[in-house]
Amino acid sequence: MLRDIIEIEQSLCDGCGDCVPACHEGALQIIDNKAHLISDLMCDGLGACLGACPTGAMKVLQREAEPYDERQVMVNIIKGGKNVIKAHLDHLLNHNELAYHAIAVEVLHEQNILHETSTNQESKKISNLKPLELSQASVSQLSHWPVQLHLINPANPNFSDAHLLLAADCSAFAAGDFHQRYLKDKKLAIACPKLDSNQQSYIEKLTLMIRHGKLKSLTILRMDVPCCGGLAQLAQKAIEQAKRDIPLNEITINKQGVEI
């Protein structure tokens, strides 16, 4: 499967910053008066930033999806200088990617590159929270971002050897105990088979997750309306195309969050 990702021609970038608010995943930042892609992992490749760039410094590259490699990412990050390095480390902490943060710091140590210690107190506070400090029902089980299936990079290692919950957009609003009852110990993707376009892309992404990411199971959480049946159809087609049999579970709830 091909993956789209943004590339920035630094010589054309004038640092205007118009691209930053257009990137809803926070993968772009203006550092030292230039735009930088500080997170390959979070770049969805949709190219919203392209239209905001007045100098044409940005383009979308298409390449075969490969497993995310933090060490390889650091090769480009290091080229950007100390401020880009710090922004990348902070970004990893903000998204609770502590394992990747540790790898990034290890690469810097191996190359004897001094870096500023990330001091994002909020991310430290979040990572140090203990479930007992909150009521059990209020503890989020979300472990990654983004979650909308169009925005997800199927090669993201978050989905490797995982149990995936493919939830209809409306389901979390109906199920008051969504996190504890359905999301716990699973990775999340959300979609709407009625409103979302290019559903073939959904099938391709799920196929890649099943075949190469080796998903352990796939659970569909849908509402009790006919259009939601499309989620299970997408999942079944992906399993067939992946040629790898995994458990497929379908749960249907009504607007009160009751399973039917």
Return the CATH architecture of domain 136-253.
3-Layer(aba) Sandwich (3.40)
Domain ranges of the chain: 2-125, 136-253
- Reply yes or no: is the peptide bond before residue 67 cis, omega within 30 of 0: no
Residue 128 pLDDT: 52
Enter the DSSP assignment of 118. P
pLDDT along the chain (260 residues), means of 10: 82 93 83 90 79 91 75 89 90 82 90 71 47 58 90 88 97 94 96 89 94 95 92 95 96 93
The token pair that represents 158 in the structure block: 């978050």
pTM over 0.75: no
Cβ burial 15-36 (10 Å sphere, 16+ → b, else e)? eeebbeebbebebbbbbeebbb
Residue 118 pLDDT: 56
The token pair that represents 220 in the structure block: 């569909």
Residue 125 pLDDT: 45
In CATH, the number for domain 2-125 is: 3.30.70.20
Burial class of residue 61 in the structure, from the number of CB atoms within 10 Å of its CB (0-12 exposed, 13-18 middle, 19+ buried): exposed
Residue 134 pLDDT: 46
With a CB cutoff of 8 Å and minimum separation 6, the contacts of 258 are none
Enter the DSSP assignment of 134. S
Residue 115 pLDDT: 76
Residue 254 pLDDT: 93
